[in-house]
Structure formats: structure tokens, C-alpha cells
Structure 1
Amino acid sequence: MRATDVMTTSVLFAHPDTTVQEAAKTLAENHISGMPVIDDKGALVGMITEGDLLHRAEIGTGVGKRAWWLEFLASTRELAHGYVREHSHKVGDLMTTDVVSVTEDTPVAQIAEMLERHRIKRVPVLKGGKVTGLVSRANLIRALASAVPDAVPSVAPEDESIRDAIVTALKDARWSLSREDVLVTHGVVHLWGIVTSEEERKAIRVAAENVPGVKEVSSHLEYPVTLPAM
């Protein structure tokens, strides 16, 4: 399997001039923990993550006044850097600029090693310098859960055709799934994603079952997580 076989293609982006509040709202409302930052030409210039927004003066999570000996040991550069991260309102001041990325042809085994080595949760996928998708730990776990034991770890052309046909069959429905939510291994279809009713779950399953070449449909569709009222 390669990056293109498992990556998320519905990517949300930030711009260096995006405000911290706008970025935080995007992450929270879409239940994601990070997103690429692109410039006016669409080139990748950084990543903004929950970790970058963790210490903020607005919500009282800033480092605050340190013990005198920590202030003494810290360089002015470190202190200034911390101040910017706590008080700047622009994503460009907080984002990580040393971004680890892959291409669409990068093997998933290599991606897994990179995620572990760099202790990151996701990598952007580039083609011609532009972001075409993201591969996260969750994408790799889905691929593992959908794999056939002892099967050759590659995506057959017929499986890709089935996958594309299912996505096409669902594209005009309000309950459609994105490409990364449909994985096919040797004719066995695995469906992932969020539904809001049992009727939606059945409709998606039926659409998949009606695609020629499908041997079996395994549904992993879930209802949205709701938090209890406080």
C-alpha cells in the first residue's frame, strides 16, 4: 500500500494570516488535531496543531511568571519565543515550519516509521509541491483493520475500480462517504465514517453491495460522539 491508497483527500487548510481563534474553531468543529498551512500560491509552509495552541494567554494556559531561577537560566530568545506563542494572534507565528511530508507513492510502512520516529500524528502528502492529502495514524489503523491476513500488502487495480465506483454511487447522496472512508481488499469492502441514522447506514451498505465485483461489505460506520450535558 502507498500513501495514495489510504490518505484523506478532504483536507482543511489554514493560511499564515489565519487568526489563532479561527484555526482553533476549525480544529474543534471538524474534530481534527492539526492541518496544513499554505501560502497564497498553495505551497505548504507549515502545520498548525493542537499542541501549537496549547499554551495561550486568553484561556490562562500560558506559562506565566516562572520561578526566578528558571527566568535566570532561560535565554532572552527562549523567553521571547514563549511570549509570541502565548500572545500572537496569527497562525504564521505559531505553526511548525519544519514539516515532515511524503509523496503519493510513499509506502505506508515508511510512513508508519516516520510517524513513530518524529513523534507526530500525521504527514501531508505532496504532489508537485501541493498538498493532495494527509495520512494520519488513524488512516493506517483503518488500513490494518481492513486488511486480509497474509494477503499481499498492495491494492489491486480491480479493488481501486470498486472503490471508485462506490464513491461515485454515493456522491450525490447527502450521506455520501469520502474516498478515504472506503477501503477495498480483494473485493471485500470496508466502510468507515459517521452516519446519523440506521437508514443512512443501510443505504450506504446497499450502494456498496450493488457495485459489480463486491464480494462482501463490512460496515464500521458509527454515530457521532455526543458529550453529556454539563
Structure 2
Amino acid sequence: MTAPAISIEPTETITKALRLMLSHKISGLPVVTPNGQLVGILTEGDLMRRSELHTEEKTSWLQGLLRSSGKQAGEYVHTHGRKVGEIMSTEPITIFPEASLRDAVDMMIRHRVKRLPVVRNEQLMGVVSRTDMLRALLPVLSDDPETATDETIRDAILREYQAQDKWAGGNFISVDVKNGIVELNGVVTDERLRIAARVVAENVPGVVSVIDNMTFVEPFSSTEIPPPLFP
């Protein structure tokens, strides 16, 4: 996570919030009281429908009849309010500091949010964002070559094929390795199988390159499509 988090108090103006978001290139701000208690979050989405931009939501006369006066008043505040506390989302999706990276990703995807305030005892500890996920991913995807024997590489590829038996079962792919160069041969009936088989090999440490010699056979017409010239 990023700590301390860039935050703002509910009594501040949205002008200050906008300047903070633009200067720090972030899509949202946790909203906290002077003692650090998280009370909401202000995101780009909260600022999309504004009277100044003439982007307020248009409603039909029927929708207007069905909406209570209180709801309409609340919508007016959201599009015209000048203080952060007036337009912020008051029920932000949060996460505990002890949560796993998987938990954070699951929550972001499930709730369709880009950042999660990290909270303990209602106090803001930091923020974990999609950018933080990318930072964690980069060293794992290092392009630096690793040393491994050809036999070790081949065994690792075959183990992963076995683990992915829902699509890689049946030993339809043969694997040969020489000096770290992997050669894949076999017949596939779905182009996606070819790509997945190649991705397995590319992810094994020590692999220098992958030669795709697999042939795609269209299952209905039995038409054979040779391997790509530039995999």
C-alpha cells in the first residue's frame, strides 16, 4: 500500500481536491477528519456530473414524479456542492492492513473500484491502488534470464500442462528443449489452446525462447492451419 495516503478533510473545497488529484495523478482521495478517521472517499466518478460542465443527469418528467423531493435535493447537492463532504461517497469500500493481495484484487474487481483505503479501527493507514498492484507485478515479471537445465525446463512445462488438465490434458503437446529453447509440437483444435500452451512455456524460468510448431486443425472441416511464422 501507499502510506501515508494523500487525503483531504470533508470541509475542504472540491477545488483543492481537484488540484490534489491532478498534481499527484490519482483518481481518488480518502476523506478524513482532523483526527484521521475515514468518513468517505472522493473519486473522479463523484465529479463527472457537475452543473459547471452541464453534465447533470437528464431525467424524464415521469422519473421526476417517481423521485422523492429528498432524493432530488440530494442529487442537486451532488452536482452543485462546493465542499468535499457534500459530494463524497460516504460508504467507501475498505480493507484491513493484514489482508492479502488476492483479497485486495478480489475486492477491486467485485466492487469496480480503483483504490481501497486501508483502515484499522476507523483510522486511515494508507491506500492500496491498482498502481500498487502493478508495482508488485513488475519484479515478478522480470525479463532477466535465469539459469536452468533443459531437463528442468521441460519437466516444469509438463507439470504445468498436467496441472491445467481442464484444457491441456491428453498429452496433445510434445515438448523438446535445447539450450533453453523450447520447441512445441502437436495438433490443437482451438487456436486458444496454442496460445495457452505457448504462454506456459514462456513463464518457466530459464526459457530463452519458444518455437511454436503446433498445427491447428479446424474440427468441423478438418482444415489444417500451420503454425504462425512470427509467434
Counterpart of 1:47 in structure 2 is 41
User: Which of residues 17, 31, 40 is equivalent to 2:11?
Assistant: 17
Larger RCO: Structure 1 or Structure 2 (Cα < 8 Å, ≥ 6 residues apart)? 1
Measure, in 1, the Cα distance between the counterparts of 2:10 and 2:40: 8
Q: Secondary structure at the match of 1:89?
A: coil
Q: What is the deviation of 1:128?
A: 4.6
Greater Cα offset, 119-128 or 46-55: 119-128
Measure, in 1, the Cα distance between the counterparts of 2:139 and 2:70: 48
- Matching residue's letter, 2:75: G
**Mapping of 1:28-47 within 5 angstroms?**
28-47=22-41
Measure, in 1, the Cα distance between the counterparts of 2:52 and 2:141: 49
Q: What is the deviation of 1:141?
A: 2.5
Q: Secondary structure at the match of 1:125?
A: strand
**Mapping of 1:21-170 within 5 angstroms?**
21-63=15-57, 66-147=59-140
Measure, in 2, the Cα distance between the counterparts of 1:148 and 1:21: 39
CA offsets 1:68-94 (integer angstroms, 9 cap, x no match): 222223222321111010111111111
CA offsets 1:110-139 (integer angstroms, 9 cap, x no match): 111111111111111124532221111221
Measure, in 1, the Cα distance between the counterparts of 2:84 and 2:65: 29
TM-score normalised according to structure 1 size: 0.57
Measure, in 2, the Cα distance between the counterparts of 1:12 and 1:138: 14
CA distance 1:148–1:51, change in 2 (3 Å):
closer
RMSD, aligned CA: 1.8
Q: Secondary structure at the match of 1:133?
A: strand
Determine if contact 1:24/1:53 at 8 Å carries over to the other structure.
no
Q: Secondary structure at the match of 1:18?
A: coil
Q: How much identity, in percent, do the aligned residues show?
A: 35
TM-score normalised according to structure 2 size: 0.57
- The structure with the larger Rg is 2
CA distance 1:67–1:127, change in 2 (3 Å):
closer
